[in-house]
Structure 1
Amino acid sequence: MSVVEHVREMASAGLHSNVRLLSGLLLTMSGNNPELFSPSQKYQLLVYHADSLFHDKEYRNAVSKYTMALQQKKALSKTSKVRPSTGNTASTPQSQCLPSEIEVKYKMAECYTMLKQDKDAIAILDGIPSRQRTPKINMMLANLYKKAGQERSSVTSYKEVLRQCPLALDAILGLLSLSVKGAEVASMTINIIQSIPNLDWLSVWIKAYAFVHTGDNTRAINTICSLEKKSLLRDNVDLLGSLADLYFRAGDNKNSILKFEQAQMLDPYLIKGMDVYGYLLAREGRLEDVENLGCRLFNISDQHAEPWVVSGCHSFYSKRYSRALYLGAKAIQLNSNSVQALLLKGAALRNMGRVQEAIIHFREAIRLAPCRLDCYEGLIECYLASNSIREAMVMANNVYKTLGANAQTLTLLATVCLEDPVTQEKAKTLLDKALTQRPDYIKAVVKKAELLTLCINR
């Protein structure tokens, strides 16, 4: 067994630190004596060394070694073309051992995403011919295209994932989030539903999340509840988390907290959605519970945005805005797509008087979550704080038209109308409509009280 084969075996066994030390020494030896290893052996050493760097999270260094490996592979391919096979079968096992060039490119793309160099990640994956792209490559490309705003390319890549793996549920969610019709997505899974027992729930699941992504909270809640009541899917943590989030979006904080608590009891290590849960607890003044939740989440993982957001909510509602700003920024650093982190940082900036900076964060939150009313509320509060009543009115009217005439949008529009004596009568009409729809909607009740106070003080 050659020394390179020993390195390969250690890599397969997950002995990354050992691989890094030995491959580094062997590559130095190769540099000092180019004849020491064959071109294919040097290619392998570079890949295994780069893999060990990737494992140590030295992504920039890993990229440089992967690049060298690809250059070496290119030289190796040219050599093999110049020297065609002589039919000697002894060379076959060695060629089978060579690390996949496609896998190397995927690892490079992973490094680029960790370095927040998404354009480079897209470029390296785009260079792989379509027919050679594995499902994980298409999934990464779909997510990268979506983040870059290249929606058509993203849809194509998600569909390719589903063609290869029709039960890839995250790819289904990706398509629904890009406004692909639920019926079209369901048609891509119909064959697998019919061929496998106990998958009849999937078409209902797709319908539920189609409602989620069109902002139809009521029908989404009803559909997920019908799924959750089925004995086989009862007490599913993901469904409970989705219900909690939907109740939150619908302004039903009581039921939202209840569902978050049920999910948390089923899975004490749950992180997803806990940022929203912490925010709701903080709004209710349960700061001790928020502090305990933050500590528990940090014990689970400090590499997710949620614990930082929860701690930030504790600081924000304790009126420590500078600390809330720092914690929100840290959460965004860990996950730039965290809507709750953007809202936290935006609110902290607004309360510190840095309204224009806050507006940028609320706009980004709207881009990421166009169906969440609280993102628009934050932006409108910024406009009102800077006396930009016209901009606030335009935004409130847009939300009213986009998300429909429900108690929340009616109250938001009424909130802006209250700022101008000319439109205060309109505010009364809007609030009456909101309270007719939902007599228990607290925000509408509060705004109606404000309006009555204004009328008394005239």
Structure 2
Amino acid sequence: MEVLRDQMTALLEQGLYDSAEILGGFLMSATASNSDLPPSTRAENMVLLADALYGRKEYRRALNLYRQAVQQCRVTPKQTVSGGRSSVQATSRPPSVNSLHASTINENEVKYKIGLCHLAVHDTRAALSEMEGIPPKARNLKINLTLAKLYRSTGYDRAATAAYKECLRISPYVLEAVIALAELGVAAKELHSLLPQVGVRKMSSTFGHVLSTRKVQPKSIRSPVDPFEPVRWFQRLADGHCSVYGHNYKEALEHFNYLGQKFPNNVHVLLETAKAEAAMGRNDEAVHNFEKARQADQYNISSMDEYAMLLRTRSNQVELNRLVHDLLNIDPARPEVWVASAVYWELRDDRVRALTYTDKAMRIDERLTSAHLVKGNLSLSLNRSEVAVMAFRKAQSLRTDLRAYQGLVRAHLANSKHKEALCAAREAMKAMPHSAKALTLVGDVYAQNSEGRDKGRKFYESALRQEPGYLGAVLSLADLHGAEGRNDEAIALLQRYLKTWADDSLHTKLAQILAASNKLGESLSHYQTALSINPLNEAAKKGLERLEKQMKGVDPDALDEEEDNEGEDADADAEEGEFL
């Protein structure tokens, strides 16, 4: 039997789970036929076979055996395991598995594996209950990190914060804990206290083993300008993420740009820079950094859902098609892939098909914010405003995102629920007190009816005082002037900003107002300028078509829409092959 155990352990170490499972069947048969075996040995054999089943992704079978092993442990006289070797190994077996050559097993490790099995079958509550049964002193880094994620996914943010902090006390290099704590609202100064202060700090023994045996030089010996000293860039990374989740994107960019200079072509830094730029409305720069990230690692999928959503706003169907095609070839099991696919089919005007892909993304990961945002927008376009409200509310609960608040406002206004829309906009303003976009959102709600337009104007002006370059407030204020019949004021406002900002949306808006003022020649010039800046500007394309009909003396609203729809579908099918 010892030979079988040793060989099975070796197979598990090599990740040969199929062979281990077959051999484990013989081991269990030998165990059942030997009535003299002590419970501890029976438990060890059960754990070995359960590990093989876990590796084969037969989680319910593994769960059953792990539970039987725990029952056998409780028959065995308690023995001290705290002084034993650490259980974390760098293999694909269930984390924290012992060598199992010892005469007893660690009951806490088996509990952890039971929790992993519950997680694998999406029973989060049972997983949390099992892992909470592990005494705090017996929790290593992997257990604490898993617990933190479980607490967060079930809404226990305070417990999640404590667990993530414990991870950093064990090892300050667990950067996902740093990012998670920033998302949970921990202040940058508090994060600094948990990060390395000088040089490379020795890992706690609970991490499993010391990662480096090199002696740390005294601070006076090391170079004072070493750019790779953790205290220098760890803190900037923490500051950058804290700024992002505090919605101070300008400050976040300063930190990420610093990191980008120290670590050129770092994918994480490029992606975070791109997302911060997109949040600021600097779409050209954001696209550039997303592309740099893809060039640095063409197989990366993280944040590609955000990139797809950005390409959608630019109506870049060709590039979006290429992105989705690449992502599907890399890993169709990732939820970001299906969000990108949904965005693509939304752009192709197949909203029902797009909705099926958002649902598929959420089945893979129900906590992916982008999936709920896309579902909300799709539901709104299909006049399912109540479904849209639920989707945006879910997105908002997962992460404080202005796009979720914007979607909520639009959904409530679609139902003529002005009070609810105003409440959602004010929630955004409270969550993001320094955001010009949030102020503009409140203004948009007030501007919906004539009695609130004065208040709306004040919010737009306040947004522009806070962020003079925020063009969203400029466009909304121009619309408000137009709605009140003050086209000359709208034209003057837009022309003033065009002296500083060569933006296609400003040219498009100015062209629309000029056309409404019957200044058709000037309108034509601005439409052409908008399309020269951004050939994919759909609003400018449609506006130019309408203007050309007006200039010919034809009513642009008199023609059928069928011509345009047939032409668009034919062109799209001719240009691009379907990949789904």
Higher helix share: 1
Q: What amino acid sits opposite 2:451 in the alignment?
A: V
Structure-2 separation of matches of 1:435 and 1:191: 41
Number of the residue aligned with 2:448: 419
Equivalent residues of 1:241, 1:259 under 8 A apart: yes
Deviation at 1:406, TM superposition (A): 3.5
Q: Could you list the per-position Cα deviations for residues 350-377 of structure 1 after superposition, in whole angstroms to 9, with x for gaps in the alignment?
A: 222222222122111111111x211111
The 3 A distance-change label for structure 1 pair 425 and 275 is same
Q: Are residues 1:12 and 2:42 paired?
A: no
Number of the residue aligned with 2:149: 143
Q: Are residues 1:336 and 2:366 paired?
A: yes
Number of the residue aligned with 1:183: 189
Q: Are residues 1:323 and 2:364 paired?
A: no
Number of the residue aligned with 2:316: 286
Secondary structure at the counterpart of residue 46 of structure 2: helix
Equivalent residues of 2:4, 2:23 under 8 A apart: no
Q: Equivalent residues in 2 for 1:5-84 (5 A)?
A: 5-28=6-29, 30-31=31-32, 33-35=33-35, 37-77=37-77
Number of the residue aligned with 2:492: none
**TM-score, normalisation: structure 2:** 0.71
Deviation at 1:448, TM superposition (A): 3.4
Structure-2 separation of matches of 1:297 and 1:140: 28
Identity of paired residues, percent? 28
Number of the residue aligned with 1:127: 133
Deviation at 1:398, TM superposition (A): 2.4
Equivalent residues of 2:148, 2:163 under 8 A apart: yes
Equivalent residues of 2:247, 2:435 under 8 A apart: no
Q: Are residues 1:261 and 2:291 paired?
A: yes
> Which deviates more, 306-315 or 427-436?
427-436
Q: Could you list the per-position Cα deviations for residues 184-203 of structure 1 after superposition, in whole angstroms to 9, with x for gaps in the alignment?
A: 12112243448666222222
Secondary structure at the counterpart of residue 484 of structure 2: helix
Q: Are residues 1:172 and 2:178 paired?
A: yes
Secondary structure at the counterpart of residue 76 of structure 2: helix
Structure-2 separation of matches of 1:194 and 1:156: 24
Number of the residue aligned with 2:166: 160
Aligned pair count reads 442
Secondary structure at the counterpart of residue 307 of structure 2: helix
Deviation at 1:20, TM superposition (A): 1.0
Deviation at 1:134, TM superposition (A): 0.5
Equivalent residue for 1:227, pick from 259, 270, 275: 259
Q: Could you list the per-position Cα deviations for residues 381-431 of structure 1 after superposition, in whole angstroms to 9, with x for gaps in the alignment?
A: 110111111110121122123312543123212221221111122223333
CA-based RMSD of the aligned residues comes to 2.5
Deviation at 1:64, TM superposition (A): 1.4
Equivalent residues of 1:297, 1:307 under 8 A apart: yes
Structure-2 separation of matches of 1:430 and 1:152: 35
Structure-1 separation of matches of 2:381 and 2:47: 50
Number of the residue aligned with 2:302: 272
Q: Could you list the per-position Cα deviations for residues 333-362 of structure 1 after superposition, in whole angstroms to 9, with x for gaps in the alignment?
A: 111221101111122222222222221221
**TM-score, normalisation: structure 1:** 0.89
Structure-2 separation of matches of 1:25 and 1:95: 18
Structure-2 separation of matches of 1:6 and 1:95: 11
The 3 A distance-change label for structure 1 pair 165 and 406 is closer
Q: Equivalent residues in 2 for 1:90-109 (5 A)?
A: 96=102, 98-109=104-115
Q: What amino acid sits opposite 2:344 in the alignment?
A: H
Q: What amino acid sits opposite 1:390 in the alignment?
A: K
Larger radius of gyration: 2
Deviation at 1:437, TM superposition (A): 5.6
Structure-2 separation of matches of 1:274 and 1:146: 23
Secondary structure at the counterpart of residue 382 of structure 1: helix
Structure-1 separation of matches of 2:125 and 2:157: 15
Equivalent residues of 2:172, 2:196 under 8 A apart: no
Deviation at 1:457, TM superposition (A): 9.7
Structure-1 separation of matches of 2:190 and 2:274: 27
Q: What amino acid sits opposite 1:398 in the alignment?
A: E
Deviation at 1:25, TM superposition (A): 3.9
The 3 A distance-change label for structure 1 pair 298 and 437 is same
